[in-house]
Amino acid sequence: MKFIIDNWMLIAVALSAGLMLMMPMIKGVGQGSLTPDGAVQLINREKAVLIDICEPNEFAAGHPIGAKNIPMGQLEGKLAATVKNKALPVILVCQSGARSSRAVAIAKKLGFENVQSLSGGLGAWRSANLPVEKA
C-alpha cells in the first residue's frame, strides 16, 4: 500500500498510457475501413463496387482494376447514379485513405448502407501486390 501511495503519479501515468493504447479498440477505429485483402474478398463474394474518389489526373495515373472514378467533390451528385443498388457493398478508395474515410460519411448520408473505405488507399493496394491499371 505504501508503494501505491508513494508512486501514485507513476501509476496514473501508466494507467492513462494503457488506456490510450486501448482506445482504438474501444472506440472501434477501423469501423468503415477495410484492408486490401478484405476489399478483394468483398468484391469477389458480395459483388462490391469499387469507387475511386481521386481527381481525374490521379485516377489516370493509376487505380485499382475495375474502379469507377467519381471525384470527391462530385460524390454527392454522382454516386447514386453510378451505384443504383444501395444495398450493394461500396468500397471507396483514394491515394492514402484519408479522403475516402471522410467520403464514407457522405455516402452514408446518401442512404448507402454498406460503405467502407480502403485503409491505406492506393498505396496499401499496391503494397498488397494487387492489380493497378492506368487510364
Exposure b/e, 109-128, CB count within 10 A at least 16 = b? ebebebbbbbbbbbebbeee
Instruction: Select which of 39, 90, 92, 94 is catalytic.
Output: 94
Respond yes or no: is residue 94 known to be catalytic: yes
How would DSSP label each residue in 13-62? HHHHHHHHHHHHHHHTTTTTEE-HHHHHHHHHHH-PEEEE-S-HHHHHH-
For 133, the 3-state DSSP assignment is strand
Segment holding 5, helix H or strand E: helix 2-6
Which positions ≥6 away from 17 have C-beta within 8 Å? none
Q: Which residues are known catalytic residues?
A: 94
